[in-house]
Every structure is written in C-alpha cells, then in structure tokens.
Amino acid sequence: MSRLLAVDATGKLSSVHVRIAAESAGVSVRTVWNWLAIARRSGRVEAAPRRGAFTVTDTFWARLSELGGNVAALHRELTGQAACDPGQESAGLVPSLGTLHRAVRREQRAGRVLQGVRPGRGRVESAVYDRALAQLALPGTVDETGQAPPLTEPGLPTTPPDSPAGAAPLGARLYVPGAHVVATSQLGEVAEALTHTVAARGIACVYGDAGQGKTVAVHQALGLLPRRLPVRQAHIAVKPALPQLRAALLIAFGLPATALTNRTDAADRVLIDAFTTPGVLLIDDVQRIAAPELDYLRLLADAPTTQMSLVLCGAGAERTLARAPALASRVLTWQHTPRLATPQIPDVLRLFHPLWHTATDADLLHTDETCARGNFRTWAKITSHAYAALDQHPGVGADRALLARACSRLGPNP
C-alpha cells in the first residue's frame, strides 16, 4: 500500500498498478481500491484491528492446531481454565464460542494455516477424488493407467544408481540388475544449465523426445548443485484442473493440501509465502498441464517476493509452453536433451552395463542404427532382454544374434 501511495503522489497511478497489487495480495481489485481510499484519508497503510475485537494469539493458534482445528474444544479448554481463575473471565479473556469462531475465520481468510488440521466432515481426499474421476472416464482426467497417480512425500528419490531391477533410481527405471546411470556429455550440459538458472533464481525448461534421459539428467544435475538448496518435486496428474494443480504444489511443499485445496485465497497466500524461500521446484511431465493452469505457475513465479527457481521438464515441453506465451517469455534457460550421438554408443553402453564389454562396436552401432536410434530408454530395454537371454543361456555371447533377439521383443515401434 505504501508503494501505491508513492505512485499516487506522482500522479501516475493507474488501474494496472492496482490490478498487480491485487494479484500479489490475493484479493479483488475493488478491495485494493477501498484500501487505497482509506490510506488517502488517514495515511494508514496497515490494516487496523477492529475495536474491541478478540484476537487469536500465537499460543491459542498453536493449541488449536494440536486440537485438529476444533474450535469448540479450544473454547471448552479456555472455559475450564477460567473456572479455575474467575478473574480471567471477568477480565474478558474468554470469548464466547461464536466470537472465537469468527476470530478463527478472520485469521484463515488472512492466510493463516492450521498445521496438521484434520479433514472436515464431507471433505474428499485428493486421491479419492482423482479415482472417482478415473472411474467416470471424463475426458482429460485420467492418467496413462486409468488411475490416480500415487501420492509421494516431498523431495526427490534417493535410490542409488546400482539399485536392483525394478527400482527407480533418480526417477527412471534401468530394467536390469547391475546397471548404472552414465554421466554423458548431455547430462553435463543439463547440469551446467540448471546451475546457472538456480543461481539466477529463474525458470528452466528441459525438453526433448521421450526416452532421451531428461528426468535422469535433471535429477542428477540437481544433486550436483554446489549449494544444497531444498529441492521440491510436484507430481502432476494428466490435465489437472486448477484445484488439483494447487493441491500438487501444496503437497510438494509439505503443506496441508486437504485443508487448503478449495480455499483459493488462503492457498495462494501460503504458496506465495513458500516461494519466498530460495530453492528449486521441479515439475516433470509438464506437457500434461493445460495453458490456463500454466498461467497460474506464472503468477506464482511473478510474485515480488519469489526466490524459488522453477524447473519444467518433459517430452514436448517446449510446445506446451508455446501455448502459454506469458510463461514461456519468462523462461531463462531452454535446454534440449538430444539423442545419443553415434560415436558415444559403445563407450556409454559399456559404462551402463558390464554385459556389453564383450560386444563389438560394429554390432552395437548396427543395433543402434536399425533399432535404438540413440534412445537411451530403448537401450535400457535391449539390455534387459539381453541380460535375461544370457542368464538362461550362459554360453551365449553378446553378439549380433543376441542383439537381434532382444530387439525383436520391443515391438514394431521400439
């Protein structure tokens, strides 16, 4: 408000200034105009508390959080304490139940959050809501498996690169025991680009065809940051509506999504406050998000207090962001993840898994030209089938016949 008054004093205040202030504060434009009128008359830029109104102190708020948001239980405790000390009630320190309810609602509308609050009666969990949408088979509301994506804890996977088959090291499946994540030159380029973007607290877009190793490269690059900044990952469903996107962001920051998902003003204030802490927010498979929801990310990134770096990753992410030009214009770094170059294939595969140590360069290059075409995910599948064949027939070597048999398991469009 002080900044609006300063601009107003120069005679240059316009509706655009008021609209920006309203978006930053999470209130309507009319509310900002009312605040400005009061500030012009009185010179006061801070909200004045209602005369004689009961205020919820930090102690009362902490106790209310412990009680799961049960205002009646808090009122019973206050009444019980007053019974032991009659002077407390006579001094007006114990409000009525209605007054306490109104005071708590005022705090919540102002953006104050009850930590650990239990879901209200009739409120639907996000997972249950997503599953119901999948069962209805509404257009654009199901993921690739027809089910709601599993909820995961905030943070990135920490499974080591040499995990057993079926594990998901750094966000990707290697399909075979003994496989390792290879630090290719492409991964080095992604690490360099993200290091600069995070240092500048900007937005990065990592894009490329499916199976090129974008997710692995991003996770490895974030793990190599010189400063151990907190890294959050938001898991996004297919074409999420704005409440679902907001819930995914709240979960990524460890905030009470169930209590805030459908309370727009309070949720926006909490997310803007979370973005004030330096760190990294990773959104993989950003191509799932429609343009209106992408603009919501732009509003969060544009908040004046934002210190959070945003990393957007996905196959076709550059085409998705092109449909949201306001966000695309704010992307600091565009990093393309290309296919493996032909000269890289033999060395990278031998670092990826020991079974390729006995294969000749000619056989590997022939398989890449006819089947894999530089796609790392395809090579991981070929490695898995070759490993299974060698396990059943130990005397067979990693020759062209074995490679052809492995490629035949990949279907007509590997």
Determine the pLDDT at residue 217. 87
Contact present, 291 and 158 (Cβ < 8 Å): no
pLDDT confidence tier of residue 147, bands split at 50, 70 and 90: very low
pLDDT at 358 over 80: yes
Q: What is the pLDDT of residue 35?
A: 80
| Beta-sheet strand order (sheet of 203-208) | 231-234, 279-283, 308-315, 203-208, 333-336
Model confidence over 4-34: pLDDT tens digits? 787 788 888 888 778 777 766 656 778 888 8
Q: Is 227 left (phi over 0), alpha (psi -120 to 50) or beta?
A: beta
pLDDT digits (tens, 9 = 90+) for 312-323: 999 989 999 988
Give the rounded distance of the alpha carbon of 319 from its chain centre: 20
pLDDT at 75 over 70: yes
Burial (CB < 10 A; 0-12, 13-18, 19+), residue 193, is buried
How would residue 166 be classed by pLDDT, with cut points 50, 70 and 90?
A: very low
* Identity of residue 99: T
Looking only at the bridges linking them, the beta strands covering 203-208 and 279-283 are unpaired
Q: Which pLDDT does position 107 carry in this prediction?
A: 76
Q: Looking at residue 51, what is its pLDDT? A: 53
CA–CA distance from 332 to each of 128, 201, 214, 327 (Å)?
A: 37, 9, 18, 10
Measure the CA–CA gap between 236 and 315, rounded to whole angstroms: 14
Q: How far is CA 28 from each of CA 80, 246, 301, 386, rounded to the nearest angstrom? A: 41, 19, 20, 62
pLDDT of residue 173: 64
Question: Domain locations in the chain?
Answer: 2-42, 58-109, 182-336, 342-410
Q: At 225, is the pLDDT very low, low, confident or very high (cuts 50, 70, 90)?
A: confident
Task: Give the tens place of pLDDT for each residue, 186-204.
Answer: 888 888 899 889 888 999 9
pLDDT band at 330 (very low <50, low <70, confident <90, very high): very high
pLDDT of residue 168: 40
Q: Which residue has the higher pLDDT, 166 or 74?
A: 74
The answer to whether 309 touches 279, Cβ cutoff 8 Å, is yes
| pLDDT category of residue 336 using cuts at 50, 70 and 90 | very high
CA distance 19 to 343: 55
Q: Would the pLDDT of 214 be above 70?
A: yes
CA distance to 89, 102, 112, 168, per residue, from 56 (Å): 16, 10, 11, 46
Q: Per-residue pLDDT averaged across 48-77, rounded?
A: 77
- pLDDT 10s digits, 279-321: 899 999 999 999 888 999 999 999 999 999 999 999 989 999 9
Least confident stretch, 46-50, 52-56, 69-73, 244-248:
46-50
Residues 176, 127: Cα–Cα separation, whole Å: 31
- Tell me how far apart the alpha carbons of residues 319 and 287 are, in angstroms, rounded to a whole number: 8
343 or 263, which is more confident: 343
The span from the CA of 127 to the CA of 367, in Å, is 43
Q: How far apart are CA 146 and CA 60, in angstroms?
A: 45
Maximum average pLDDT range among 40-44, 147-151, 300-304: 300-304
* pLDDT band, residue 169 (cuts 50/70/90): very low
Give 398 or 201, the one with higher predicted confidence: 201
Q: Is the pLDDT of residue 224 over 70?
A: yes
Domain 182-336 class? alpha beta
pLDDT bin (cut points 50, 70, 90) of residue 120 is very low
* Average predicted confidence (pLDDT) for the chain: 77
What value does the mean pLDDT take over residues 336-355? 88
Q: What is the mean pLDDT of residues 107-135?
A: 52
